[in-house]
Amino acid sequence: MRLLRLLAGDIRFQAVYGFWFLYSILTLLYLLLLSVLPGEWREAAAAVLIFSDPAAMGLFFMGACILLEKSQRVLQVIAVSPVTVREYMLSKAASFAGISLVVAAVLALGAGYGQERLPLVLGGTLYGSLLFSLLGMAAASGINSINQYLLITVPIEMILFIPLILFLLGREGILAFFPTVICMKMLLGIPQNGAAVWLAAGTSLLLCAWAAWLCMEKMWKRLGGVKL
């Protein structure tokens, strides 16, 4: 019940600060863009748009959200409440994933994806959203300004996006096991063959969750959330 109240609060927070409005406008613009592209480009363009916005929004907007809560002393209040770090993280990740999934579904259907491909696209979107949201939490936990956040996310972006760019340029090999490449292949509707790929995807997500939990736990204690 406490988790559901947290999730409802996060959704209201996003609505009040324009997250849903912003993505409604962006989704309409993306649909217009897709409608004027040649048919053979449309699905690939939709996959890139889904990855770059809904799936990756956690890295950028998660940081902004946590910094805003710090500046408004919301986090300080939550940290001394019965809310746990795990509940806070689950609520944040779920609320951002909700936006991502809605936008991804609209873009996929607008690009003409068949219904048989939609579950794979939504699975890739969910995976990417959770991955980036967890990294955003870890990055935002120890900083107090947007400038600091931008600096700390630059190396994260390079690590995540360089292998993906190489994949899009036609190189794969060991890159097939990299999390952002796995995510993009799902968005493109490319089946993931072999248990090793799924093991790599799950391991990457668990490592990000563990790193984010350690960082958020440290922030929790610093804000006064030590439970005696």
| pLDDT at residue 88 in the model | 92
Q: What is the mean pLDDT of residues 203-228?
A: 83
pLDDT of 224 over the 80 cut: no
pLDDT tens-digit readout, 84-127: 899 999 999 999 998 889 989 998 888 878 777 888 899 999 99
Tell me the H-state helices in 81-145: 85-110, 118-140
Place of tokens 């990740």: 93
Three-state DSSP class for residue 190: coil
pLDDT of 64 over the 70 cut: yes
pLDDT of 54 over the 70 cut: no
pTM of the prediction? 0.89
Please list, in sequence order, all residues whose beta carbon lies within 8 angstroms of the beta carbon of residue 105, skipping any fewer than 6 positions away.
118, 121, 122
Quick one: tokens of 3? 């988790």
pLDDT tens-digit readout, 149-207: 888 888 888 888 899 889 888 887 888 899 999 999 999 888 777 788 889 999 999 99
Closest CA to 9 of 82, 100, 1, 144: 1
Please tell me the distance from the alpha carbon of residue 198 to that of residue 142, in angstroms, as a whole number: 31
pLDDT of 56 over the 80 cut: no
| pLDDT at residue 210 in the model | 95
pLDDT of 225 over the 60 cut: no
Please tell me the distance from the alpha carbon of residue 174 to that of residue 192, in angstroms, as a whole number: 14
User: Number of H helices and number of E strands within the chain?
Assistant: 10, 0
| pLDDT at residue 173 in the model | 81
pLDDT tens-digit readout, 125-153: 999 999 999 999 998 888 888 888 888 88
